Structure formats: structure tokens, C-alpha cells
Chains A and B, each alone.
Chain A
Amino acid sequence: MSDKRKQYWKGVEQLTNDPAFVKNAESEFPEFLPISDNPEGGSSRRDFLKMMGFGIAAASLAACEAPIKKAIPYVNKPIDVDPGIPNYYASTYVQGGDYSSIVVRTREGRPIKIGGNALSPLTKGCSNAQVEAAVLSLYDNERLRNPKKSGQDISWVDLDREVTSKLNKIASAGREIRIVSNTVLSPSTQKVLEVFQDRYPTTKHVVYDTASVEGMRLANERSFGQKILPTYDFSKADVIVGFGADFLGTWIAPIQYANQYTQTRKITDTKKGMSRHYQFEGNLSLTGANADYRTPVKPSDEAKAVVALYQALDGKKSDIPHVNKAASDLKKAAGKSLVVSGSNDPNLQVVVNAINNKLGNYGNTIDLTTPVNYRQGNEKEYNEFLTEVKSGKIGAVIFFNCNPVYNTQSGADLAKALETVSLTVSTSDRPDETTKFVEYVAPDNHFLESWGDANPAQGHYSLSQPTITNIFDTRQAQASFMAWAGVIQFDYFEYLKSEWESTLAGIGLIWDQALHDGVFAIPENLEAPIFNADVNAAISSINTAYKGSDLELSIYQKVGIGDGTQSNNPWLQEMPDPITKATWDNYVTVSQAWANEKGITFIEGKSNMVNLTVNGIALKAPVVIQPGQAPGSIGLSVGYGRTSAGKVADGRGVNAYPLISKINGMESYAVISGVSVEVLEETYQVAQTQTQQTYMGRETVIQETILSEYQKNPGAGRYHPHISTWQEESGDTHPGALTLWKGHKYKNHHWGLAIDLNTCIGCSACHVACQAENNIPVVGREEVINRRDMHWLRIDRYYSSAPDDELDDDQKDMMDSRKLELVAANPEVTFQPMMCQHCNNAPCETVCPVAATTHSSEGLNQMTYNRCVGTRYCANNCPYKVRRFNWFKYHDNSKFENVNIAMNSDLGKMVLNPDVTVRSRGVMEKCSMCVQRIQDGKLKAKKANRPLKDGDIEVACASSCPTEGMVFGDMNDPNSKISKLLKINDTEEADYIVTKEIGEPRAYHVLEEIGVKPNVTYLTKIRNKDKA
């Protein structure tokens, strides 16, 4: 091929570069179209008619064809993208100070699923609901599509020019510049910010956290001389005491803690012990729900309980329940215990440190030598910033991916003060409350479109890589900072790579490998410091600060919505709160005693609204009566009451951030004074997916025991239904043994799922993972109230019934069945993930008139959507009520476009898993045990010409479980994890009957006696309690 291409001239004019030609060369029509009949130019009546005729004809011709939405095939297929075959990329999820190493699954260039990265020594392949749901936020229609100036579109070039010139002006005038952000875990970003600071020396980086733990860091400074957060290792603890720290749900690094915690809770044949967990808290948190001994205490008493525990270790008895017992257990487990507190009060944390120090936990369960970098906010600096903004000292503020107008206590003040700042910029990738008050928005990429790194803990590093090209005209914030710092043509990827390559070489890693793995470690431990703090001063300060009042408020984060950053994500909005099972709202949680006193009821989620007034700020919110709520306390979650987040989140619930108070000068989610509540006439219904609170004493549903009983008899707590028959009168016949069914013989595989109720903490990661994997529609608050949520996998949460001594006289006279509906004031909580049980004798299969639901040759209960006519008979006959009906068309339906964003816009639809059908109106659906993944695994094995190995196939729920509480596998394979866990014995009874005998004494089937023989098996819940 010749180097030089042939060129054709348009005419002699081009050759001669005639000025008249050059002028019009780029236009589509260099000359006016010769349609004018008028030799003098201009249009005549005839021209007008001609053009109108043409116009009408053209318009009607164009209208004949629908808009073209064709998939355009690749001209050259990219080497690593095969249609139908997913690609996986390791990356990093960072949201504020939260961190998870992730693996992103992409199909045809679209990220569709986020899972944990098993190579990470920190998160160990675990994720949580917020991480799993983040992929939907990528395809949020509300995201900014291009840079904005005062709400109007602007080009990046103009934005950079204007911002840079303003920054220069401000800097040269010597005025202050502030970069405000949440915790930045990325070392390279820190360096970029340093470059910016070098360019504009008046710049200061102010860091704040939506839930500050600076008090802990200050306490560690007072105790150890280092303002750090230590690494906790719950897995080494035999006794765990938590004071208001929801470490399984929302506190600092819940993914890691949940995984560690459940390692101590898991019981096997070789490990027959488990940790004992005490929790002292006001609200019933996810962590408290998993505790063996939970003491409801209002926030001020919680502080007193910490002191009491400290003193109890020295032998001083306390009258707070369980404190003495906890102290004696802790002493027995010295060095193998852990005490944590969720308080942000340094004094309180000093006492906690003193307790841990006294128990010798430092160096064992608490590692000060590898501090973590989460939540590095500095309240003092932020407050200074606020005063400076208000006083007009600040010339420019850049909000780096943060939303302080919404998620700080003083957001409204900030919003007002911002008007006086001459340059305000936000890098938020979507509109929020802060972008409303800034002049320029330079939208950052979504993290799935970005390069990046993170340093979550000392010596631990993590890389992010883009999994999709920028969907919109956004730019990575780091590049924006560099552009404003005068570095043009900055490529953050090159920068990142060059930053790391030499370091990586030092530890014998190449960049590609590090990127592939997503994580790497560089040994860089610190030295262990010695405890040295004035505990008595801390205690006396606590005694004066925590006076307590009649009504105290515990502000908290919900497991799903968290701090509200992702509140425009409908998967999280509709994820039922693990405790209240409420969706789409926040609410004031109150105790039953308080409700009785005020005369309010809570039926089917309906109750009165209340006016909650906290130190002069009033909010109107609905009420949820929460068993386990400490008397004298109420709870309210942050993350709601968004006003500019988008159509999903706006107007849902109330904003609790302004209620945050201060204790000992530090931000406090516990408000211990100035709280009052007024009950209003107005009622409101909170949308709950479950309204019956107790399991009605049905042992066939929940089987549990205590540890000492289990150790005596591994089958303790099991419920064995038995009956007599006319042939056998001793009453030992198992009802499931009597059957009309022929049974099945599974020649190849027999899929099964085992769920350990003892490790399930109810975190709902599986719930969101299932929703993402299986294209499950979101239905919105009203439809949840109508009890039509579509979740294939739900987590049933049961409270224990009220014991007789808690009943009043009226209640004592009730029928037994009614008494069981009453919840204990401080209930025991059990979580039970419930999905299609894939019954071998499935009641749904027999009743379908058109055979739309059938049994597979591998034990699955299959649903053929195409064949379904929608009689709902199968759902009625399902004893587990796991079938979900498409009451409406949820996709492409304007009625659902505000909630089901994944199925109602072209952008949202990009998140859909192409392996799973989007179901149409009028058909039934349910858990398929991720049959698409099973098929994929089988095909892969077949192509590789090898038998399927255990672990080749992982279902979405099991793979997302941070506690490894779910095991999926082939029960026909004697070496599979599930077969070993359940100790499965095949007994072939006849040609067509195979009975799987489960040898594990803890294993049971829910509703065993009705003989449906499910393929999902549960293991009994075991509580580490003393015998009552």
C-alpha cells in the first residue's frame, strides 16, 4: 500500500485555494441550493410552496420509520470482548471512607454486577448491599452529562479557563482556597491535590466524614500518642462487647468486621465453640440483633455502661444488666476479647481503650501497628472552614465528591455562606444539595469509569480501573484538579501507573499483575505504642457530660442507605431494612412502652406522625414501634430527606443530619438532651415487606438452641415432627416418609443450597446481589405497601415472643395464638434468608394447569415465563410464599419510571443482566437458583472437556455473602462442600427414587412435615447464652 493516499479535488477552486471556496469548504452545502426561481435572489411565493411541499413530504417520510435503535456490530472485534461472555475486572469501591475491593463483571462492555474480590486480604471477597448496588448508580439518569455553570451547560475548555482564571485571581489576591472532601483513601489523589496546593499555596484540604469517628482517633492520640484508627480483628475474639457500635452494619469497616465476626460464630464438627457477644445500645441495630446478650440502654446510659464495665473489671458491681456478666466473661477471655464503642466522644473511647488495654487486647485483637485510613475527617478543621466561609475569608471552595450542604449538621449555614464565596466548584458526578449552591460543576466519572488507587490500611493498597468508557462528558476529578493547577493534557492513568510502577517493582510485582489482582500489600508496619492515658479524668468528664434526659435520640445509618450518598439508588431504597423490614422511608423508632404511654399503635406499618423537635429543629416523621428500643430513647436514621438527589430519593423521609449534636465538643449521633416528640393526629404508613414480627413459636420454621446444649448434643434444638400410622403405632414415623410421590432420580447433578442461620447476620448483601443478578424490578413504596415487592430472595426477620412476665393483665387473658404475636420488649432476633426452596415434591409444579413450572433433571424447580398464563395457583400453593407475580408491566411503563429505573430508560437498561429474561406483565417468577450461572458453569466445563468441579458455579446470593453463610453445590458430588457440610448419604431405594439422607444433626428443612422435600437446607441457629 502506498503511503500517500490519492486525493480528489472538488474542483479547480480547491487546487487554487480560492478564498471564496475556502470560506465555505467545511459546510455541507458550500453554495446555496439552487431552488430559488427568483433570479434576483430571495424567495418568491413559488419557492415558498416548493419548500413547504418538500418539507411536508420529508417530514412525513421521516415519520414512516420508527427511531432506529440497532446494535451496531463491531467492524473489528476487540480481542478480549466476546458477545455473551462476561469479562471480570478487579477494582475498588470507595464511597466516603468506606472501602471494598471488588470484581466487576462486564458484558459487552457494560458493567452489570459487582462482587467482592477474593484476593483482598482485607475484604476477602466480601461485599455488602451498598457495594453490590453501586453498579446501578452508574446508570442513573440523574447523573450529570456535562459540566455546568450556574445550571447551564458549559464546555470543559470554558470551564477550565474560567475556573483557572478565577483561581489565579483569588490566589494572587492572597485569598484562601479550600478543597472540601470526605476521607480520601487514594494516595495518588492526595498527590494530585498536593500539586494543586503547590500551584495555589493558599489552598487547604478540609476533610470531614458523614459519621465522624475522630473521637476514636483522638482517644488513641491520648492513649498511645498516635491519632490513628487501629485494625480490629474480631475473628480472634472469644468475647465481644459492643457499645452502640453497629460494626456488622455501618461502623467503620462493616464488611471486614462481619466476615471476622462470623468466623467466631461458625460452628463445625471440629470447632464446637463460638464467641459470646454482648451489645449495649439504644436502637436495635443489626449488630445488636446478632448479639447473645443485648442490653437496651439509652445513649447516656450507654456511656455509663462503658464506665461501669471498666469498673466492673476491677470488681465493682454494676446494676446495669449484663455488665457484671460481661466483665467476668471478658476477664476469662483476656487477650482474646474485644470491646468497641460507636461513640465519637474521646473520653468514652479512652475508657474503652483502657478496658481493652486492661484485658491485653492490644496486639491481639486490636492491631495498632497497621492503622486503617478510613474516616480521617477532622472536625476542628471543618468547623474552622465553616467559620471562615461565613466570615467571607474564603475566596474559592472546591467540593471534591462530597455533599456537605446535605450531610453535615450545619449544611444550611454552609449553603447560605456559599453565596459570598467568589468561586464555588463541585466535582460531584450527579446533582445534589451542594451542587445547587455552587457555580461550577465539573462532574467526575463514576468510580466504575475511573482509574484510581486506595490505601485502606497501612501497607494495603488497592487499584481501580475503568470498566466502561465514560458514558457522559465527564472527567475524572483528578484530571480536573490538574487542569486547574495548570497541568494540561494530564492523563491520570499514566500518572497513576508511573506513581506505582517503581514501588511495585520493589515488591516484585508488575503493573499488569497488580491491576489484574486489584490489590497488593507492601509491608510497612508501625511500632506498637504503649497505653498511657488518664482514665480517671476521662471517667469524671463522662460523668459530668452524660446527664441524660427523659428522651434521648440515637441517630443512626441504615444498612441499605447508609449516609445517603447512594439514596437515589432504588435497589437500596427498596431493600428492606434488616431490622424494621421497612423500605423507602426513615422514621422515628420508639419503644412499645413509649407507644403505650402515648396511646399510639403500629399496625401493618400504619401509625401516627410525630413532630420531633431537637434543640429547636423540628421534623415531621412517621413512627415505627421497634422492639428492643431502649426505654427513654428513640432512633432516626440519616440518609433520607434528600431534596436534589433525583426522582428516586427526593422527598423520601426527613433529613436527620441537622439534628446531630455535640458531646465534649465532638460530633455526636447520640442526642442526649433537648429532644421532644409530639404525637400528631395525622397517620402515615411505612412500607414494610414483613409485618408479622414473631415466628409464632413455630419450631418447624426456626430451630435454635444454645451453645451448651449443642455441645452436649449437636442435634439440640431440632424439631422432629412425627406421627403414628396404623402399621406403626409407636409414633415414630416421620411425616415426610409417607408419600404418594415417586421421587426423582438425579443422574448428573443435584443442586442444593445450605444456609447456616448461625452465621447469617441479616446484612442483606445477598438480597441486592440477587436483585442485580436476576433483573428483579423495583416496585416503589405504594406497591410495597400493597405487599407486592418482587424480591426473589428475602430475609425473614423474626423476634421472639413476649415472655409471660412481660404481659399485662389483658394480654394474659389472650388466647395462646394471640399471645405469640406479642413481641418481647428486648427480643431475640433470628434472620432467615428465604428463597425458592426448590422442592423435590414441589406443590407449585402439580397445580400449574399449563405446566409452566416444572422439575429439572438436576433438582431445580424451573419457571418457564413464556408458558405462564398467570393463574397464581402456584404462588398460593407455595408453602414458603416465595413466588412473585408481575402485577403490572414494570419495564417501559411510565408509572414505574421513577422507581424502576433499571427497566425504564435506555441508560438504566444497561445494568440488566443479558443472561436473564426481563419478565413481562402477568407471569410468575421466582428464584431460579441462578440457573444461568449453572448453565454457564456447565458449558465452560464441557468446553474444557472436564467434569464440573465444585466451586465452578457460584450463585449470586452465596457469592455475595460476607459471612460465607450460604453454600451452594452439587449434592450428588460426595466431595462437594455442600455434601460434606450436610454429610449427605445417597440411598438408592428403587430405580426412580433416590433419597438424600442428611447426616448433619443441625441441618433441617423448613416445614419438614409437609413433605415437600426442599433442596435448600438450613442449619440451626445457636446462641451463646447460659441456660435460662
Chain B
Amino acid sequence: MAIPLDEVVVKEEKQNLEYVSVIREPLVTGGKTVHDVTEDICRQVEGKPTLSWMLAMAMSLGTLGIGAYCVFMLLWEGIGVWGLNKTVGWAWDITNFVWWVGIGHAGTLISAILLLFRQKWRMSINRAAEAMTIFAVICAAMFPGLHMGRIWMAFWVLPLPNTFGSLWVNFNSPLLWDVFAISTYFTVSLVFWYIGLIPDFASIRDRAKNKISQVVYGALSFGWDGAAKTWMRYESVALILAGLATPLVLSVHTIVSFDFATSVIPGWHTTIFPPYFVAGAIFSGFAMVLTLMIITRKTFKLEDYITIGHIELMNIVIIITGSIVGIAYITEFFIAWYSGVEAEQYAFLNRMTGPYWWAYWTMMTCNVISPQLFWFRKIRTNIAATFILSIVVNIGMWFERFVIIVTSLHRDYLPSSWAMFYPTIYDVGVYVFTFGLFGTAFLLFTKFFPVINMAEVKSIIKTSSRKAS
């Protein structure tokens, strides 16, 4: 849709040269000045921890402690403390792994792909989203390690030169591809995130009043001098990293989906998995970003930076990806029927009607039906509704992986091996451990790192912080 030029009113106010659009919602509200941005964002870094932060931290550490006990028991006794069996060799472990990896997709998507598409609304959410990505990937990476029978030999999955003779890893194995995919993704995300943090660390350093902050943030900011040349290099690196990260957003979950797609198990052996997994990952990642953002903006009073507009845009992404996922589910069924493969047909019927029907229908309700509510503008601009639905979506996405992994395995080719999987407290406990880990890391991040990219937001203050009145 072309917008006639004369409808765009460019007002030049005397005090602050401000760009006001009649049709676009401003990205930063409240008439913030550049200084306000610095003040608002640095406030929690420089101030004392708030009571709510302390409470949240105590909860996270408690969760982490309980989880750590379960992890200890897992390592001490063996994988047998989980509910797995001879038929179902993976359940919560890989479900959690894929779930966390999926969540880890949003950050890089927001910062890299939206950067390339010049979506400026990303600016106030990309920092936290990227942090979420990093921590989610760390949580995800726990599981391939913890699920190993002999975790102390985990380094064998790396192609390291060794003294075992000519022993090398098996490059045919999708699990090995995972190792490469995840480590690459993690490295690139971390570098991208960190480079973005440098100018803001410099701001904090410059404002620091005590010695420790000066030294720490000084070290963290790598001697940033804010010179035009430095900014120019910064911009170029950001662009290059965005270019590098973009294919990774698509590749990581594609490769994770290969764990299943390249196998022979009915319900896993499906060519639709790569796009379906990527869509699902973005879906769950955005939902998680929303969950976290809604809490952060509330507790840190960042409503002017993370606006209803942001929430609405993210909800739109959720409708789209949720619908893609829904179509993928239906396609899978159609293909199972159309293929004429008996085992495949049974696997899908069993999902819907077998002993795990409740997991399947939870998944369908949460992932396919609930996001459709966002077609209503009232719902997608309602913070409470968004918050609830964002959690519902992540419950649904957890069940999606559970359904794929457990219902496919528990009744595969030979009926003699059919079995049920019942989780134990240690299955739950290790999942809880990653929540504790994630929560703790994210809380530390919100306290000690600027949660919004000050430098970038400042760049749009002039052009998009007020709507034409």
C-alpha cells in the first residue's frame, strides 16, 4: 500500500526535532529523551537490587538447588532414576532439549533477521531476547550431556585428536550434527549479543561511581571510545554477524529435526520436520520472549520502551508461526494416510487416540487453537491475555516434542515391545534444574546488564517516540 506523501506530516518542533507518523505507532512512548533512556535503563544496573528481584532470585536459586540434587542423583545412580525403558529411550530429556533449543530461536531471529529486514521495533527487545537465547541454549545443551549414560565420556562426541588409535566421531550421526549446530549457534549468538552490549557497557562504565563498577564495566566494554570510526565498525560487525546468524536460525532447528527425520521410526521418519520444527521454534521462542518481556517491563517499569505495539507485533508472529505449525500437523496426518504405510498410519492414529491422547490434544489445543485468539485485536493487545497465552503456547510446544518423541517410540513396529513411559521425580527434577538455571542467569542478566539496548533505542528516539496528535 502506497502512502500518499501529503498524508505524512513532518512536523519540526523547535525543542526536539521529532519525526511523527500518522499511521505508525511510535516505538518508544512517553516522550523519552536520550537522557531518559540512559537513566531508565541504567537505573537497575546502578541501584540496589529491588525486593522483587531478591525474591525472584531466591526462588530461582531454590529451584536450582532442588534441580541440582536431582542432577546429582542422576549422575550418581545412573539414567535409571528416570522413567525411561527399553522401548522409550528418550522422553523428557530430549523433549526438554528440543524445547529449550526452540525457545533459543527467538533472540537471534529478532536481532539478526529483523535487523536485516530493518524492523526497528526489535530494538527495545533484542537484548533481552538474545540473553534469553543464550541461556536457553545453555539449558538445552545440558540435556544431550545429562542424558548420556556416561557423561564423563561426553568429550568423545567432539572430533578431537586422540590417543585411542584412529577413533573418530561418526559424521553420519544427526546427534553429531547437533553438536556442531548448537555449538556454532551458541558461539555466534554469544558474540552477537556481546558486541551489542559493548557500547552500553561503556555508558555504564562512564557513569560508574564506584571502583568495582568502573573496573568491571571497563573491562567488559573493551575500551569502547564512542568514536565515529568505532561506531562505523560496530555497525559493520553487527551487520556481518546478522548475516551469519540468519542461516543459523534456520539451520539449528532443521538439524535438531534431523535427529528424528533421518530415523526409521514411524512418526519420526518425516520429511516435513525441518520447516515444521523451525516454525515451531520461532513460535515458542516468541512466546517465551513475551512471557519474559511482560514481566520485565512491569518490574523495571519499561512500559515506554516495550510497548503494546511490540507485544502486538510479536503476537502476530505467533499467529503466523502457530498456523504454520497447525498446518504441519494436519499435513503429517494426511501424508501418513496417503503414504499407505501401515506403521506410519498407526503411529498417527495412536497419537490421537492411544494412551497418550491427552498429550496430543493438549498440544493441539495449545498450539493450534489458542494462538488463533490473537486474530482479535482486543486479545492481542491485552497484556494479561498475551501473558497467559504465551505460557499456554510454551506448554503446547513442550507437549509437541513429548508427543513426537514418546508417542512415536512407545508403540513402534513390533507390538511386543510396546510400552508406556511414566516420568519419575528425577525426570521432573532435571527439567526444574534448567528452569532454576535459566531463571538465575536471566535475573543476573537483568540486574547487571542493561536489559534494553540503549545505544540502539537512542537512535530511534528522534524518529519514533511520539504519535501525531
Contacts and interface: CB of A to CB of B under 8 A. Distances in A.
Given A849-B169, A876-B90, A885-B86, 18 more contacts: A692-B415, A692-B418, A783-B80, A787-B86, A798-B415, A817-B346, A834-B416, A869-B153, A870-B149, A871-B149, A873-B175, A880-B413, A880-B414, A886-B78, A887-B78, A887-B79, A888-B78, A922-B79
Interface in B406-426: 409, 411-420
A109 interface: no
Contacts of B419: 691, 787
Contacts of A692: 411, 415-416, 418
20 contacts: A690-B416, A690-B417, A694-B415, A698-B342, A786-B80, A794-B416, A818-B353, A847-B172, A847-B174, A847-B262, A848-B173, A849-B176, A851-B167, A869-B154, A870-B150, A875-B86, A881-B87, A884-B86, A1009-B341, A1012-B264
Given A787-B86, A869-B154, A881-B86, A1010 B264 contact: yes
B148 to A, nearest CB: 5
Interface in A879-910: 879-881, 883-889
A694 B346 CA distance: 14
B168 interface: yes
B173 A873 contact: yes
A700 interface: yes
Given A798-B416, A886-B78, A871 B175 contact: yes
Q: Which of B149, B174, B175, B419 has the most CB of A within 10 A?
A: B149
Contacts of A876: 89-90, 263, 265, 409
Interface of A: 604, 690-692, 694-696, 698, 700-701, 783, 786-789, 794, 796-798, 815, 817-818, 832, 834, 843, 846-851, 867-873, 875-877, 879-881, 883-889, 920-924, 1006-1007, 1009-1010, 1012
B148 A922 contact: yes
A869 B86 contact: no
Interface residues of B, number: 54
A884 B415 CA distance: 17
Interface in B324-356: 341-343, 346, 349-350, 353
B173 A847 contact: yes
A885 B172 contact: no
Given A787-B86, A796-B416, A922-B150, A846 B173 contact: yes
Contact of A889 (B78, B85, B168, B174): B78
A877 B265 contact: yes
Interface in B167-198: 167-170, 172-176, 179
Given A691-B418, A847-B175, A851-B167, A869 B156 contact: yes
A1009 B264 CA distance: 11
B182 to A, nearest CB: 13
A849 B85 CA distance: 21
B77 interface: yes
Contacts of B85: 786-788
Contact of B353 (A698, A815, A867, A883): A815
B349 A817 contact: yes
A451 to B, nearest CB: 44
**5 shortest interchain CB distances as A-B pairs:** A870-B149, A922-B149, A887-B80, A787-B85, A796-B416
A729 to B, nearest CB: 15
Contacts of B168: 851
Q: Which of A798, A847, A849 has the most CB of B within 10 A?
A: A849
B147 interface: yes
A786 B83 contact: yes
Contacts of A924: 149
B84 interface: yes
B388 interface: no
Given A847-B175, A876-B89, A923-B150, A701 B418 contact: no
A788 B89 CA distance: 10
B313 interface: no
Contacts of B413: 698, 700-701, 879-881, 1007, 1010
B157 interface: yes
Given A868-B150, A923-B149, A1010-B264, A788 B175 contact: no
Contacts of B157: 849-850, 869
A889 B80 CA distance: 9
A887 B176 CA distance: 23
Contacts of A783: 80
B255 to A, nearest CB: 13
Q: Which of B150, B175, B415 has the most CB of A within 10 A?
A: B415
Contact of A849 (B179, B341, B350): B179
A846 B172 contact: yes
Contacts of A786: 80, 83, 85
A849 B156 CA distance: 9
Contacts of A887: 78-80, 84
Contacts of B341: 1009
A698 B79 CA distance: 33
Residue of A787, A875, A883 ringed by the most chain B CB atoms within 10 A: A787
Contacts of B349: 815, 817
A409 B147 CA distance: 52
A482 to B, nearest CB: 52
A834 B417 CA distance: 10
Nearest to B417: A881
Nearest to A873: B175
B265 A879 contact: yes
B151 to A, nearest CB: 8
A848 B170 contact: yes
Contacts of A868: 149-150
B78 A921 contact: yes
A1006 B83 CA distance: 29
Contacts of A817: 346, 349-350, 353
A797 B416 CA distance: 7
